[in-house]
Each structure stands twice: as structure tokens, then as C-alpha cells.
Structure 1
Amino acid sequence: MSPKQQRGEATAAQVLDCALDIYVAQGEAGLTLSAITSASGVSAGSIYHHFGSLQGVALALAQTWLNRLLDELGKALEQTDDARSGVHAVVRAYLGFARLNPDAARLMHSVTADREITAHAHRVRGAQEARLAPIAAWLHAHQASGQLVDLPLPVLESLILGPVTGIVRRWLSVGDIDMEEAARTVPERIWRSVGR
């Protein structure tokens, strides 16, 4: 990577770090171009060059953290031998990721992220393909071995991750969920809905 590319990546990372801090402190309303330029020291022109728009910053921020989550889920699966332990590991990894990164989890599960990811769903899915392919292959292999129910992969993925997403959203917004208890009890409940 050339020095110019390294500087560009460092600038983009700086903008995203500042954008997350602003989002956490002030919410979506506070996430303005002026606030980002002020906090990051990066010019508006440079922000537009790297992200195309303010919405591009929000999308890149959500994608960055979603990619980190997917990396953690992939690593969790790599350390398992069977479908049951894999489902347990993925659920615990997701809950653990949210507990360790509550600010990023709040953004990832926000209306802001939902709106931007939905608006650019095909592009986002394409950018995540390298991270999603091993997870999909794992699901397919365990379906083929008879350990997971025979459902379309998007449905199976939703049955595994949907409840976890709901738990994380409620924990972030209401705070009435004990995440340690959830990590102990929820993986087996999810396994019962998808395992054979």
C-alpha cells in the first residue's frame, strides 16, 4: 500500500471514530458535517472525497462495525466441531460483541443504520460477501449432515440471529435484560428451534 493510500485510510478511520463519538454523545441529530469536521480536523472536501456524503459516513460507520461483528461470528464458528456448539458459539459471540462494544452496537441497531443499510442493501451485502460466505457454507454443511433443519439459508440465519438482535436492541434501549443470563440460556433455546 502506498503512503498516499495509508494516509487516506487513516483519514477515513479518523472520521469514522469521530462520527461514532458524536453519534453516541448527540444522536443522529448531532451527526452533522460541521460536527465531524470540527471533531476530526478533516476538511469537508476530504470527507466528501472518502464517503460521498454525510449519509455515506453513516453507512460506512455501520458497515465497519457490522463487518467486525461478522468477523467475530466467523471466528466463533471456526472453533466449533458440530452444529449445536456452533449455534451456541455464534449466539454468545454476538451477545459478547454487544457487551464489549455498546456504543457501536447502539449505532448498528439504530434507525440510522437500518435506514442506510436498507437503502444500500445490495451494495452492503456485496461488500460483506467475503465474511458471509464462510458462515453460509457452515450452515449449508450442517444442513447437509442433518444437524440443522432444512430451511432456506436466509430463514435459518434469521432464526439464529433474529432473537439475538432483538435481545441486544432491548438491552441497549430498555436495559432490562441480564446479558450474562441471556448468554447462559438463549443459545440452547435457539438451538432447539434450528437443530435436529
Structure 2
Amino acid sequence: MPVRQRRGEETRQRLLDAALTVHAAGGAEGFTVHAVVAESGVSLGSLYHHFGSFDGLAAALYARCMAGLLDEIVAALERARTPRSGVRAVVTAYLGFVAGHSASARFIHASAYAAYLPAHAEMIATMKAPRMARMAAWLAPHVASGAMVDLPDPLTEMLLIGPVAELSRRWLNGAGFDLANAAKLLPDRVWASLQA
């Protein structure tokens, strides 16, 4: 990689790291362009050069955090042998990500209704597409064999991810759930909703 390109990538990563740090420390209220510039030590002009806008930076951070979550889920799923163990793997990988990367998970969940997501939907969809395709490819033979219920992909995703995402959102907002206990109890309930 040429030196100039490498420096540009390092600046992008520094801004993304700073944005996550700022959001983790101050939440949505403290998540401002000036706070990120101050934390990163990168100029405002450089931020706009690399991301186009503060919303562009936020969308890129969302994409990076979501890619981390999906990569862990897909890796766990692809190690599973049976449909039941696959569902268990997805649930426990999601909860493991939330526990181990709570700043990233908090940013994902805080972004759910953010204006920057629709504005950058194509970039986010491009990031998600290969990961979701791998999940669908793993699930397809189990649906075809009759082991799992045959539903449209969005409904399967809601049953598989919806309960754990909501539990995670509440935990990240301070609800007193025990994630380790949830990882023991929730997978079989999710499996019951997807078992044919």
C-alpha cells in the first residue's frame, strides 16, 4: 500500500476509534463533531475529506461495528453442525459480542433510528450483504431438509436475532439481566420458534 494511502487509512481508523470512544463516554448527547475532532487530534477538514460529513463518519462507524458483530455471528454459525447448535451459536455469539464489545454494541443499538442510516443505506447494505448471504447459505439446507421452518428471510431473521437484540438493547440501557444466564436460557426458546 502506498504511503499516502496508508496514512489516509490510519487517519480514517483514528477518527472511527475516536468516535467510538466519544460515544461510549458521552452517549448520543456527547457525540458531536467537535468532541470527535478533539479526541482524535485530526482536523475537521480531514474528517470531512475522509467521510464527507459527520453523518458519514457515524454511518461508517455503524458499518464497522455491525461488521464486527456479524463476523462473530457468522463464524460461530459456520462452526455449528446441526440447526439447533447453529441457533445456539448465533444467540451466544451475539450475547458474547455485547458483553465483550459493549461500546460497539451500544453504538449499534443507539443508531437504530438515526437519520444517518437511511442516508447511507447503500453502503451499509453492501457491507451486510456477503455476511447475510453466508448466514442464509448455512440455514438453507436445514430449511430444505425440513428441520427448520420455511419462512421469508426477514421473518427468520426476526425470530433468530430479534429476541437477542432486544435483550441486548435493554441490558445495554441498564436493565438488570444476567447475560450469562440469558445465554443458557434463550437459545432453546429461539430454537423452538424456528424448529419445523
Same fold (TM over 0.5): yes
Is the Cα contact below 8 Å between 1:98 and 1:105 reproduced in 2? yes
* 1:43-99 CA-partner distances (Å, limit 9, x unpaired): 111111111111111111111010000000110011111111000001000000000
Is the Cα contact below 8 Å between 1:12 and 1:50 reproduced in 2? yes
TM-score by length of 2: 0.94
Q: Point out where structure 2 has 5 or more consecutive residues left out of the alignment.
A: none
Q: In structure 1, what is the equivalent of residue 113 of structure 2?
A: 114
Q: In structure 2, what is the equivalent of residue 87 of structure 1?
A: 87
Aligned partners of 1:17 and 1:172: how far apart in 2?
20
- Percent of counterpart pairs with the same letter? 45
Moved more, 123-132 or 84-93: 123-132
Aligned partners of 1:69 and 1:184: how far apart in 2?
20
Q: In structure 2, what is the equivalent of residue 22 of structure 1?
A: 22
Is the Cα contact below 8 Å between 1:139 and 1:153 reproduced in 2? no
Moved more, 169-178 or 121-130: 121-130
- Which aligned runs of 4 or more in structure 1 are off by greater than 2 angstroms? 116-123
Is 1:169 the equivalent of 2:151?
Answer: no
Aligned partners of 1:33 and 1:156: how far apart in 2?
38
Q: In structure 2, what is the equivalent of residue 11 of structure 1?
A: 11
Is the Cα contact below 8 Å between 1:142 and 1:148 reproduced in 2? yes
**In structure 2, do the counterparts of structure 1 residues 67 and 86 end up closer, same or farther at CA, with 3 Å as the change threshold?**
same
* 1:121-180 CA-partner distances (Å, limit 9, x unpaired): 343112221222101111222211211101011110111000000000111113211101
| 1:36-75 correspondence runs (5 A) | 36-75=36-75
Match of 1:114, SS state, is: coil
Aligned partners of 2:163 and 2:102: how far apart in 1?
18
Aligned Cα root-mean-square deviation (Å): 1.3
Aligned partners of 2:75 and 2:127: how far apart in 1?
18
Structure 1 residue 113 displacement after superposition? 4.7
Q: In structure 1, what is the equivalent of residue 124 of structure 2?
A: 124
TM-score by length of 1: 0.94
Is the Cα contact below 8 Å between 2:23 and 2:30 reproduced in 1? yes
Is the Cα contact below 8 Å between 1:148 and 1:195 reproduced in 2? yes
Aligned partners of 1:130 and 1:10: how far apart in 2?
25
Is the Cα contact below 8 Å between 1:59 and 1:113 reproduced in 2? no
Is 1:148 the equivalent of 2:141?
Answer: no
Aligned partners of 1:136 and 1:2: how far apart in 2?
37
